[in-house]
Amino acid sequence: MYNFRNDYSEGAHPKVLDALVRTNFEATAGYGEDEYCEAAAKAVRSRFACPDADVHFLVGGTQTNYTAITAFLRPWEAVIAADTGHIAVHETGAVEARGHKVLTVPNADGKVTPQALEDIYLEHTIANIGHMVHPRMLYISDTTELGTIYTKAELTALRQMCDRLGLYLYLDGARLASALTAEGNDLTPEDLPRLFDAFTLGGTKCGLLFGECLVITNPDLKPNFRYCLKQCGGMLAKGRLLGVQFLALLEDDLFLKLGRHENQMAVRLTQGLLAAGYPLYAQGPTNQVFPILSRALIARLEQDFTFEFIARIDPEHDAVRFVTSWATEIEAVEALLGALGKA
Amino acid sequence: MYNFRNDYSEGAHPKVLDALVRTNFEATAGYGEDEYCEAAAKAVRSRFACPDADVHFLVGGTQTNYTAITAFLRPWEAVIAADTGHIAVHETGAVEARGHKVLTVPNADGKVTPQALEDIYLEHTIANIGHMVHPRMLYISDTTELGTIYTKAELTALRQMCDRLGLYLYLDGARLASALTAEGNDLTPEDLPRLFDAFTLGGTKCGLLFGECLVITNPDLKPNFRYCLKQCGGMLAKGRLLGVQFLALLEDDLFLKLGRHENQMAVRLTQGLLAAGYPLYAQGPTNQVFPILSRALIARLEQDFTFEFIARIDPEHDAVRFVTSWATEIEAVEALLGALGKA
Amino acid sequence: MYNFRNDYSEGAHPKVLDALVRTNFEATAGYGEDEYCEAAAKAVRSRFACPDADVHFLVGGTQTNYTAITAFLRPWEAVIAADTGHIAVHETGAVEARGHKVLTVPNADGKVTPQALEDIYLEHTIANIGHMVHPRMLYISDTTELGTIYTKAELTALRQMCDRLGLYLYLDGARLASALTAEGNDLTPEDLPRLFDAFTLGGTKCGLLFGECLVITNPDLKPNFRYCLKQCGGMLAKGRLLGVQFLALLEDDLFLKLGRHENQMAVRLTQGLLAAGYPLYAQGPTNQVFPILSRALIARLEQDFTFEFIARIDPEHDAVRFVTSWATEIEAVEALLGALGKA
Amino acid sequence: MYNFRNDYSEGAHPKVLDALVRTNFEATAGYGEDEYCEAAAKAVRSRFACPDADVHFLVGGTQTNYTAITAFLRPWEAVIAADTGHIAVHETGAVEARGHKVLTVPNADGKVTPQALEDIYLEHTIANIGHMVHPRMLYISDTTELGTIYTKAELTALRQMCDRLGLYLYLDGARLASALTAEGNDLTPEDLPRLFDAFTLGGTKCGLLFGECLVITNPDLKPNFRYCLKQCGGMLAKGRLLGVQFLALLEDDLFLKLGRHENQMAVRLTQGLLAAGYPLYAQGPTNQVFPILSRALIARLEQDFTFEFIARIDPEHDAVRFVTSWATEIEAVEALLGALGKA
């Protein structure tokens, strides 16, 4: 069985696992107040060129998103996301469960445009002040849910629009390593603090057992975050597990190496699919590939490959998703292409 | 100054006010546990042919909607509404503030169609169970936000779809009196209990000082509602004020008479606007009229008439809203038509 | 039947009712943005000597308390109250339903002492920062739930302790008129803005049909309150009803006259009870009287008087509550004392 | 430096770590829908004699408690806990943040008594129905926050009282292994399903990297839990990490062995402290030891030992807490006793 279900099917990358094993019997303070978390935070600040940022480590992505939104917004303030956005669709209403409306705008290849942002802001502020939620933050993800990436120019334009409208700009970087190493990407780690009020660096989908890193660069958003972290269930008792893993992930830019690998595997797969004549539901340069396949073919593939259903296209075809990871081997990709044959 | 701002600009209809004055010095139990509330509940059950329904009286519409949704749904369950729906747009995220996602579907003249309902339900249940909110209730309003009404056939089709999908069907009847007396309406008060798990009869926009009546017909939704009522801030100390007013409103079908009057005023206005050549932003047979006017004309009208901005159409034109009420006199309508002149 | 059940059994004081009737057919803007609310706010600012305060009018007390707390606190911040406090006991967890913990301290005759305040603050800040809620506000009521009142010295001491601990001080003045006119009171309306970050003036228990007035004096707490008001279900469509009523209540200090009257009735009752030898469950100079009576006597009294159960004292005795109001006549008090006879 | 700070200072027990390493490169389904979680659930059902129970694995304790409470209760329902209870004190209001009031009763050596339970239930139901939260669940922990344990007779009495009052009974077993192996314990794993509607088996404090196991035995509480799990941020992407660890923990009753070891270390410490003449702030047979020490001594000890502050006793003395774990060696205990000397 070859795995293309997602990028978190295996355990940890060997270097990460080694770090965990090596430090296993040490006794440290709990709740992220240990030297490993401190060192990892320092490494993040250094790599992302934000010496004054607050850095927090959490276990999961949904948890990170709603904890940050809970900490950053007041009850009547809303977060804007693409209609494909993870917080809007795939987090079981976790943001709403903490009291905030998620306003959605039509996505453009998974991305939010400045125009869509301005439109929804105006809709909520041109009249009826007090009777509608007040948009206060833009949530985007890079890579997007459709595997596409933002260019630096696009992000700069969003940043400018956010500044004009008084919005925080938040990046869900669950697959940031993939985005930063994709073909066509012109964004560097050092660009992020200038563009975002807060951003995350995802570990779960990049070779950690688990772990998301939240970097808060806007000083207004820093105070009291740890109260929220605890209240939202995100404070890990053996918090140093997060520090140990992120330290390993940042060493020698391991996260970028893993991102690059998974992109290469996906690009090969995309090229093969296109060459074979399969239409794509969405196309990007990162580690998610979305072909449209006949149900008969899907049933056949399921015998040897794991992957996910995305959407019903017509009575005979579905869009599915193949995801590559740090652990995906080229043999698996070739086997999949072989099984796909010609469209 | 003629008032077309809304249908809650004046105080109470004389018969309602008289009832309040007449009973003012009586001492009764508080919190809706008095004989007037009991009598009003009985009158509602009788008029709407639901002898076993639970009837609650609340002060305001937003309050009623989010209290009902809070009481009826579990945390992971969502309510579906048209993208124009009041709970989706104009309640400052009150439903989300109590933890529930409002899923929106594209409206058809302000209405939800069975197809849109089925589509969004399938999107949330075809895969990813547990990772998306579970749709559990459909919220509609009659009259809709665009002043249109549902036919009995449309409601029956929605009811059938709700039954098929396991959804509660909830009617926000803030302007129910207007809907029930509009041209083209074939719905009777007696139809409602069969169609809806719960529905409201709006008093605020129909001649009461304030007051919404929530009728719960589905036995599963009845228990413990008063806890929610109190917790959500909807329990009025001098609760009998609600009972007294609704008793007056139901006597001799006063609510239908008031609805009929406001519709007649609006129909006259609509006919005049169309005859004068003005385009309409939305058109329905009830008490809200939505012409598109030039900004110059709007500025001129604002000197003698109150009304509301609805949407920017182009740099020179806006859609506005004229609302008629139980208190609107034909002279006001004619004055407005006179001021409008030809398009 | 004589009514001692509560101070909101009747409708409105004649002067308040007259004002409502007189203005009934005027058309004004909704949602509290009318000239009556503006005038009433001005009258409040003037009477309470706080020219820069924000003044909001809401329908009910529970609503006012949780809306203010929602607007003033962040998610991890808690409000401290006496263990008898209304928000702690009698609001069906409305504050918690909006996400905030209510920390309780043992009451001293219904009051919070600076020592109790300091103790609970230290408990929550001496260690485990982040793992416990952070106390941020003190909630008190005057009159208290036990009918007692605070002296100016007591309030000044609480204010100083709040300043030292970084706490907001909030006064629930649901029965403020009674407190300000009680024997032993040395507090004036003009003292309140100096002592409290926000306070309420209760109308429901002082001759209005309904209505609480929230006065926010701390500039930090003012912004965006109307969003919360709407989201929390507290924005009344015909908002001017609140302005009209409060204007009448403030005219010629009517609220103080009504407070004085109800206190006089209660003092007479207390004196009679003590003279007759009945023990009191709690004793204060305001309009709530708490005798301990045998169940046999209670059963007898219930035939002619309405009143409420408070607590079981022993198998044969209960504490009950008699409340006097602006509408209580001396004949009713004498009739009650007559029925009570000797203990 | 010897560690007595807590029982989660080190990483995983070697057998647990081995299991993680051994399975690291396998690819499985995510979110707990893998064969390891299934096998671990089966092992739990078998060991705790509840073949029909639903078994869920979560990362942390606070998360588990509030997720369960969110899933089990309706908005107006409250959970009762001892005033020392973890959910009442040390979870930053996480339960309230999800909308539920935590009612507290005075603890008896960290425990809840049937009498205290009945008292608070009656307080909330004898009158004012609808105006107070409705108690619906009792939360206890075993071991308690003070290191004490419940006897089977005590739990049976609580169960009977819960049945009488219509309350769910929930056990926070964060330190269940310690409780089940303590001197004086007469509770077996097989007793739990009969006594509790739901209980947890803590892994974080018993040799796992992280992990709590929630066992739901009451069929009414089972449906739809995974929605809550996701919404509350408790669904781990690489969910099998939890299954793998719990499988190892249950194999050959490793959890009981670890519990027994930590108790033995603590008993030795307690005996030494008592022999040396130190008073104890609280005393139990489990792995938390609470001596009262002078601040001078505390300062001296802090040079070689880590431990936590618990409470200020007087200007010169504090209560502190020494915690033993599966990793505590007898040499550390003896070193600590040596450093303590005579009181």
B224–chain C Cβ distance below 8 A for any pair: no
| Contact criterion met (CB < 8 Å) for C93 and B9 | no
Tell me whether residues C224 and A134 touch, CB distance under 8 A.
yes
In this predicted structure, the answer to whether residue A343 has a pLDDT above a threshold of 90 is no
Please identify every stretch of chain B with a pLDDT value under 50, giving residue numbers as ranges: none
pLDDT reading at D123 higher than 90: yes
In chain C (343 residues long), the average pLDDT of successive 10-residue segments reads: 95 98 97 97 98 98 98 98 98 98 98 98 94 98 98 98 98 98 98 98 98 98 98 97 98 98 98 97 98 97 97 96 97 97 91
What are the tens digits of pLDDT across the range C213-270?
999 999 999 999 999 999 999 999 999 999 999 999 999 999 999 999 999 999 999 9
What is the average per-residue pLDDT within A62-74? 98
Give D122→chain B minimum CA distance, Å. Answer: 17
Residue D343 pLDDT level (bands cut at 50, 70, 90):
confident
Mind listing the pLDDT tens digit for each residue in D7-24?
A: 999 999 999 999 999 999
Give the nearest partner residue to A24 out of D11, D233, D238, using CB atoms.
Answer: D11
pLDDT exceeds 90 at position A22: yes
Distance from D25 to chain A by nearest Cα, in Å?
A: 5
DSSP string over B205-235: GGTSSS-EEEEE-SGGG-TTHHHHHHHTT--
Q: Is the pLDDT of residue D166 over 90?
A: yes
User: How many CB pairs (< 8 A) connect A and D?
Assistant: 147
Cβ–Cβ of C130/A235 closer than 8 Å?
A: yes
Separation of alpha carbons A288 and A148, rounded Å: 9
pLDDT of C260-272, one tens digit each? 999 999 999 999 9
Question: Is some CB atom of chain D closer than 8 A to the CB atom of A335?
Answer: no
Instruction: Write out residues 46-85 of B within 8 Å (CB-CB) of A.
Output: 75-76, 78
Kindly state whether B91 is in contact with chain A, defined as any CB-CB distance less than 8 angstroms. yes
- Residue in A103, A92, A42, A44 with CA at minimum distance from that of residue A66: A92
B106 touches A: beta carbon within 8 Å: no
Give the residue-averaged pLDDT of A298-315.
Answer: 96
* Closest CA in chain D for residue A237: D8
Query: What ipTM, to 2 d.p.?
Result: 0.96
pLDDT tens per residue across span D264-282: 999 999 999 999 999 999 9
DSSP D220: G
Starting at the earlier edge strand, list the strands of the sheet with D134-141.
Answer: D54-58, D212-216, D198-202, D168-172, D134-141, D77-82, D102-105
Average pLDDT, chain C: 97
| Count of beta carbons in the 10 Å neighbourhood of residue A115 | 12
How many interface pairs between A and B have CB atoms less than 8 angstroms apart? 60
What single letter denotes the amino acid at residue A327?
A: A
CB C99 within 8 A of CB D96: yes
Closest CB to B99 among A76, A96, A133: A96
CA distance A276 to A291: 11
Give percent above pLDDT 90 in chain C: 99
Which candidate from D70, D130, D227 shows the least CB-CB separation from B226? D130
pLDDT tens profile D98-110: 999 999 999 999 9
Report pTM.
0.97
* pLDDT, position D31: 96
Structure tokens at D29: 């389904």
Q: Where are the alpha helices (DSSP H) in chain A?
A: 14-22, 35-47, 61-72, 86-89, 94-97, 114-125, 152-165, 176-180, 192-195, 225-231, 240-250, 254-276, 295-301, 330-340
B30 CB within 8 Å of a chain D CB: no
What are the φ and ψ backbone dihedral angles of C202, each rounded to 5 degrees?
-80, 130
**Which position has the token pair 């839990």?**
D225
Sequence-distant (≥ 6) Cβ neighbours of residue B90 within 8 angstroms: A128, A131, A132
Residue by residue, DSSP assigns C74-125 as -TTEEEEEETT-HHHHSSTTHHHHTT--EEEE--BTTB--HHHHHHHHHHTT
Please name the residues in contact with A46: beta carbons below 8 A apart, sequence gap of 6 or more: none
- Residue A48's alpha-carbon distances to A192, A217, A250, C124, C180, in angstroms, are 7, 11, 11, 36, 60
Residue A314 burial (C-beta neighbours within 10 Å; 0-12, 13-18, 19+): exposed
The single-letter code of the amino acid at A267 is V
Does residue D264 sit in helix, strand or coil? helix
The CA dihedral of D273, D276, D280, D283, to the nearest 10 degrees, is: 50
Give the pLDDT band (50/70/90) at residue A17: very high
SS3 state of residue B153: helix
287-326 in D: which are within 8 Å (CB) of A? 306
| Closest-CA distance of chain A to residue D212, Å | 12
Residue from the list A91, A93, A132 with its beta carbon closest to the beta carbon of B90? A132
Q: Does D206 touch chain A (CB under 8 A)?
A: no
CA gap B74, D285 in Å, rounded:
41
pLDDT score at D313? 96
Identify the pLDDT of residue D197. Answer: 98
- B134 in contact with D at a CB cutoff of 8 Å? yes
pLDDT tens, position by position, B169-228:
999 999 999 999 999 999 999 999 999 999 999 999 999 999 999 999 999 999 999 999
- Percent pLDDT > 70 in chain A is 100
Task: State which amino acid sits at residue A298.
Answer: I
CB pairs under 8 A between B and D: 54
pLDDT at position B285 = 98
Contacts of B26 in chain C (CB under 8 A): 10-11
